[in-house]
Every structure is written in C-alpha cells, then in structure tokens.
Amino acid sequence: MTYYIKVSNVPEDLATIIFPEIKSRLEGYIGCVEGYCSALFYTENKKLFNEATKFLEFIGVQYTTFEW
C-alpha cells in the first residue's frame, strides 16, 4: 500500500523550509506558483508517513492524506 500526503497553498517562504525536510524522507512532487506552493508526497513506509504527518501538524500546515 502507498500512503500519500497532499499539501496545498503553503506560502513559498514556509514551503522552502518544510518541503525539503519532508522530501528528504519521502518521494514527492513540489510546485510553486505566485508565492504559494503545493506538494504531493508518497511512501510505502507507514512509519515515515506518520512522522511526516506529525511534522506537518507540529508546524501547523493543513494537509490531506489518502492510501492507494
């Protein structure tokens, strides 16, 4: 099973700090337009998925998760 985390509309100055941290542990895609960034991260490792969601909660960034 693959676990996904979708993050949208994060200010670019914050995204440049938190997205590379998550991408160092998970696969993913990051895009920025007009000062805001979105990302889709994914992994088959449930532990890494849980760590990433806890990190986003700690920072206060809203996200959506799903499994496929």
Detail the DSSP E strand segments found in the chain.
Answer: 3-11, 27-33, 36-43, 64-67
Q: The pTM is what?
A: 0.92
- Looking from the CA of 68 toward its CB, the CA atoms found within 13 Å total 6
Place of tokens 């160092």: 24
Q: Which of 4, 2, 11 minimizes the C-alpha distance to 59?
A: 11
| Tens digits of residue pLDDT in 24-57 | 999 999 999 999 999 999 999 999 999 999 999 9
Note the pLDDT of residue 17: 95
